[in-house]
Amino acid sequence: MRTSAEVPSPQRGRRRPLILSAGMGAGHDTVAAELARRAAASGHEPQVADVLRLLPYGLGGGLRRSYQASVRHAPWAYAGVYAAFLRAGGGPRPSGVPLARLAADRLMDLVERVDADVVVSVFHLAAQLTGHLRARGRLRVPSTVFLVDFAVHRQWLHPGNDRYLCLTAGAAAEVRAALGTPVVTTGPAVAPEFLVPAAGAAGWRQRLAGWAPGRPPVVLSAGAWGAASRPDATARLLSGAGWLPVVLCGRNARLRERVSRVPGTLALDWVEDMPGLLSAAYALVDNAAGQTAVQALAAGLPVIGYRPLPGHGLDGVRRMAALGVSELAPDAPGLLTALGRLTEDGRERSAQVARGHALFRSDPITSVAGL
């Protein structure tokens, strides 16, 4: 078993963090890239790796494809997987360690090759792997887990990891109670462009006003994979109520083609200038409590959860609403009511935006061992 004496004490000077992400959509990679940018800006030498690529026999690619297919086409199937493997709570259930440890040898080779002196996991399978290796004494450098979800599910948790970083105090309390591990509440990590007036906002306002004059733009997020429950119906509802639905279809060309048929709707594929678009919008309709929602909070855009994805999406959307940083609309009338209540410069809008901004407490990278 690992002992505290085996954890190297932080040293001054340049460090070499290895950040473990996963290409499940774009959210985890976005966080990993931002942590790496911050580490490099502080004079360190970060490396980013996809833990799925460390799995042998093509298992990582198969896991990615099956997850993508389930959230796009069979969300009920993913709900079952989530309930069996990930949902919080006690009772005997399958563990993620057997799958994760298949990547152990490749991870150890990578740690040695890049001479990493700390490993940072931003995906739950990576947290299972590093915790397993630390507990058995194979991984000799500290392991930090940046838990990027609002809702804590059990596959994030492994007592072998040295430290956890959480988005909220509530999540930190859950981790601390479950593991007894040191936990720091840092808030999310987003690119600095989301936290300042966006340079591209004026251009987006002009474009959106030209598309539908007089209609306030409401962004609908379907994630990088374009996974959403009936976004065309939501777009039709908003358009009929006088809004301009701006649907982010990610890299799902079929979804964009389908949504484009809804009158009065702007369907977009992958958007590079998200700070500008969010700054030009009236609100975000979110279904996953992922990075788009976090970016909206940073940009000062009200967030409304609607038709959330099952599993961690539903749990995350509920947790955000409980924190008061978003609102959960139970049905179509509730969505329209929420949008109408979050009026420009109104008290409810200002209060929700302020609570969202308050989440950004500190720089997560400074809470990684020795950085």
Query: What CATH number corresponds to the domain at position 164?
Result: 3.40.50
Give Cα separations from 96 to 47, 54, 86, 99, 132 (angstroms): 24, 15, 9, 6, 10
Which DSSP state fits 137? T
Q: Which residues contact residue 216 at a Cβ distance below 8 angstroms, ignoring those fewer than 6 apart?
A: 242, 243, 244, 282
Mean pLDDT of 95-117: 91
Confidence of residue 76 (pLDDT cuts 50, 70, 90): confident
> For 123, which DSSP code?
S
Whole-angstrom distance, CA of residue 144 vs CA of residue 183: 10
Residues 115 and 261 in one domain: no
Q: Which of 166, 185, 204 lies at the terminal end of a domain, its last residue? A: 185
Give domain status of residue 102, yes or no: yes
The answer to whether residues 144 and 162 touch, using CB atoms and an 8 Å cutoff, is yes
Domain shared by 314 and 198, yes or no:
yes
Domain boundaries, position 41: 4-185
Note the pLDDT of residue 14: 86
pLDDT digits (tens, 9 = 90+) for 317-358: 999 999 999 999 999 999 999 999 998 788 999 999 999 999
Name residue, tokens 């007894």: 180
Higher per-residue pLDDT: 24 or 147: 147
- Listed residues 163, 185, 207: the one ending a domain: 185
Residues 6+ apart with CB under 8 A from 14: 43, 44, 45
Residue 366 lies in a domain: no
- Give 93's pLDDT tier (boundaries 50, 70, 90): low
Question: What's the distance, Cα to Cα, between the start and end of the chain in Å?
Answer: 25
Q: Are 208 and 331 within one domain?
A: yes
In the structure, what pLDDT confidence band is assigned to residue 90 with cuts at 50, 70 and 90?
Answer: low
Regarding whether 322 and 247 lie in a shared domain, the answer is yes
| Whether 204 and 289 share a structural domain | yes
Same domain membership, residue 221 and residue 144: no
The structural domain count of the chain equals 2
pLDDT at 6 over 60: no
249-to-72, 138, 224, 256, 325 alpha-carbon distances in Å = 12, 42, 7, 6, 24
**Domain for residue 367, yes or no?**
no
Question: Which residues are paired to 121 by β-bridges?
Answer: 20, 145
Residue 115 lies in a domain: yes
The domain boundary, picked from 185, 218, 245, lies at 185
- Let me know if residue 270 belongs to a domain: yes
Position 88 scores a pLDDT of 67
- The closest alpha carbon to 227, from 311, 309, 313, 294, belongs to 309
The CATH number assigned to the domain holding 307 equals 3.40.50.2000
* pLDDT tens-digit map of 141-181: 999 999 999 999 988 999 999 999 999 999 999 999 999 99
* Shared domain check, 275 and 344: yes
My answer on whether 31 and 175 are in the same domain is yes
- pLDDT > 80? residue 78: no
Residue 234, in any domain of the structure? yes
With beta carbons less than 8 A apart as the criterion, state whether 44 and 15 touch: yes
Q: Residue 215: inside a domain, yes or no?
A: yes
Q: In the beta sheet, which residues pair with residue 146?
A: 165
Q: Are residues 29 and 146 in the same domain?
A: yes
CA distance 324 to 343: 17
Q: Has residue 369 been placed in a domain?
A: no
Same structural domain, 25 and 161 = yes
180/267 same-domain check: no
| Cα 250 to Cα 253: distance, rounded to the nearest angstrom | 8
Residues 180 and 227 reside in one and the same domain: no
Q: Which of 303, 296, 305, 293 is nearest to 331 (CA)?
A: 305
